[in-house]
Amino acid sequence: MRFGINTFLFTFPFTNQSVAFFPLFKQWGFDSVEIAIDDPDVLDIPLIRSELDKNELVCGSICGVFGPDRDLRGTAEEQQNSLKYIQKVIRQMKILGCNTFAGPMYSSVGRANAETPENYALQWKLVRSHLKSLATIAENSGVILAIEPLNRFETDFINTVDQAITMAKEVGSDSLKIHLDSFHMNIEEKNQHDAILRVGHYLGHFHACGSDRGTPGGDSIDWQSIKKALRTINYKGDVVIESFTQDVKAIARAAAIWRNIEPSNKDIAIKGISFLRNTFV
What pairing do the DSSP bridges indicate for beta strands 3-6 and 32-37?
parallel
By annotation, the residues acting in catalysis are 148, 242
Using alpha carbons, list the distances in angstroms from residue 249 to 154, 233, 255: 18, 37, 10
**How far, in Å, CA of 281 to CA of 271, rounded?**
15
Positive or negative: CA dihedral 147, 18, 23, 248: negative
Please give the C-alpha separations between residue 171 and each of 166, 167, 177, 242, in angstroms, as whole numbers: 9, 6, 10, 27
DSSP state of 42: G
Q: Got the DSSP string for 108-120?
A: -TTB-----HHHH
Whether 272 and 242 have beta carbons less than 8 Å apart is answered as no
